[in-house]
């Protein structure tokens, strides 16, 4: 239930066969909602939305947020906002939270979150503008992609790399087991 090419790449690397069917639900942050609750709720809502249309399938959905000083940084609306976001992260550590939800054909939903801390190296406005000019940051939470050119901004991470990309594989495997499936290197096997 995601249009993310990065999530699709990771599922393909795992050897899984899947269909991409984005939910199209608006990604609205509710007042007073914690970043973790926000990411998990959106993943659940997206999964259930697509599951209502594909009642015969396991439906996986995800949502990723970047959190700096308790504030959620979503996808930038324009280039100036992307530059501002990047400069607010330069030389600092922030948290990336990815929520996943898996809905079974019976309508049972399992969900959870995983968080990873990312530290950016110090940089200035010129580098931020040059990165934004590549176009890469415009569809990504926090205005960067660790799997692409944005990797040059990262000094270190503490946690799961795939959480930053948007599909925490350890959490995915746990959710599959909760739903009665085990991943066996390219295949899902019923438990």
CA end-to-end distance (rounded Å), the chain = 24
In 54-115, which residue ranges form alpha helices assigned H by DSSP?
Answer: 79-89
- Encoding tokens for residue 71? 């504030």
CB 61 within 8 A of CB 11: no
Question: Does 69 qualify as catalytic in the annotation?
Answer: no
Q: What is the maximum alpha-carbon separation in the chain?
A: 53
Half-sphere exposure of 139 (CA within 13 A, CB side): 9
Question: Which of the residues 56, 63, 69, 174 is marked catalytic?
Answer: 63
What's the rounded Cα separation, in Å, for the pair 61 and 169?
Answer: 13
Q: DSSP 3-state helix, strand, coil percentages of the chain (rounded to 5)?
A: 40, 25, 35
Q: Which residues are catalytic?
A: 63
């Amino acid at each position: 239930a995601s249009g993310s090419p990065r999530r699709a790449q990771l599922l393909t690397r795992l050897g899984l066969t899947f269909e991409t069917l984005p939910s199209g639900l608006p990604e609205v942050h509710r007042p007073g909602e914690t970043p973790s609750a926000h990411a998990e709720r959106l993943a659940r809502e997206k999964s259930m939305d697509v599951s209502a249309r594909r009642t015969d399938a396991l439906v996986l959905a995800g949502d990723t947020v970047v959190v700096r000083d308790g504030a959620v940084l979503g996808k930038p609306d324009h280039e100036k906002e992307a530059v501002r976001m990047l400069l607010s992260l330069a030389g600092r550590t922030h948290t990336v939270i990815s929520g996943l939800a898996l809905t079974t054909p019976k309508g049972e939903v399992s969900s959870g979150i995983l968080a990873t801390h990312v530290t950016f190296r110090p940089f200035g406005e010129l580098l931020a503008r040059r990165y934004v000019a590549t176009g890469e940051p415009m569809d990504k939470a926090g205005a960067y992609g660790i799997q692409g050119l944005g990797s040059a901004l990262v000094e270190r991470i503490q946690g799961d790399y795939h959480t930053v990309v948007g599909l925490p594989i350890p959490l995915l495997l746990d959710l599959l087991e909760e739903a009665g499936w085990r991943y066996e290197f390219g295949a899902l096997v019923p438990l």
